[in-house]
Chains A and B, each alone.
Chain A
Amino acid sequence: MKDKVTLVVFSGDFDKALAAFNIAVGAATMGMEVDMFFTFWGLNIIKKNKGPIKSKGIMRKMLNAMNRGGSKRLHLSKFHMFGVGTWMMKRLMKDVNFPQLEELMALAREFGVKYIACTTSMGIMGITREALIPEVDTLAGVATYLAEAKESKVNLFV
């Protein structure tokens, strides 16, 4: 049986998303089976970059307007500075040929990393399946995560 790695991606911060995908890609290239469980702010990483987020009720509409998400809209956890800091970090990454987040995500999929989206967070925040990128394999809850985590040798919360 393949070694398993499970990542809980709770944060929607740009830098933490990079770390999570860096580990996921590394593990997958080492022949490990990788599951990424996206919950709460982490769902922002796997929201589509384009199109509206359709949700019901004024509060959820407001939340999804203020918290639009999408891999291209994530903020650095430090020095975001209204976007200037994040823009600069992306420039620095480009400067040393480090792949952009979207490229890391594509690489993760190429090596078979699986995406699981947390249905509870989706329900609370009013995020539908259509708001998420098509690559998401499964919509599930904590039992699915625990069943995977129990069999994993590496289990991280980002």
Chain B
Amino acid sequence: MTRKGDVTLDCVGLYCPMPIAATARKIKELQVGQVLEILADDQGIKEDMPAWCRVTGHEFVGMEEEKGQYKVYVKKSK
């Protein structure tokens, strides 16, 4: 199944903490209920994005991994 985001954020080539910093910045532009798709290749994102969601209260929708590239989906919840 291919998930879809309303807005895509390209974080390929960026290391921690840049992907979560960029996500925090970008999610402000979304409406509640919209899904942000984050593209990344730092494998730290696998643990970091769910953790970021747990703390901020945004919903971690899911993640897809293909050849070292990650697509992460976060729904703006507030």
Given A25-B21, A107-B21, A111-B24, also A30-B16 (CB < 8 A): no
Instruction: Determine whether the beta carbon of A30 is less than 8 Å from that of B20.
Output: yes
Instruction: Determine whether the beta carbon of B15 is less than 8 Å from that of A96.
Output: yes
Instruction: Determine whether the beta carbon of A111 is less than 8 Å from that of B21.
Output: yes
Question: Which of the four size classes fits the interface of chain B?
Answer: 10 to 19
Contact of B17 among A29, A31, A110 (CB under 8 A): A29
Expressed in whole angstroms, the minimum distance between the Cβ of A2 and any Cβ of chain B is 11
Residues on B with beta carbons closer than 8 Å to the beta carbon of A30: 20, 24, 52, 55-56
Within 90-140 of A, Cβ neighbours of B (below 8 Å) are at 96-99, 104, 107, 110-111
Instruction: Determine whether the beta carbon of B15 is less than 8 Å from that of A97.
Output: yes
Expressed in whole angstroms, the minimum distance between the Cβ of B64 and any Cβ of chain A is 23
Cβ-based interface call for A26 (8 A): yes
Instruction: Determine whether the beta carbon of A29 is less than 8 Å from that of B23.
Output: yes
Q: Please, how many angstroms separate the alpha-carbon atoms of A30 and B20 in the complex? A: 8
Q: Please, how many angstroms separate the alpha-carbon atoms of A107 and B23 in the complex? A: 13
Q: Mark B18-38, 1 if CB is under 8 A from A, else 0.
A: 101101110000000000000
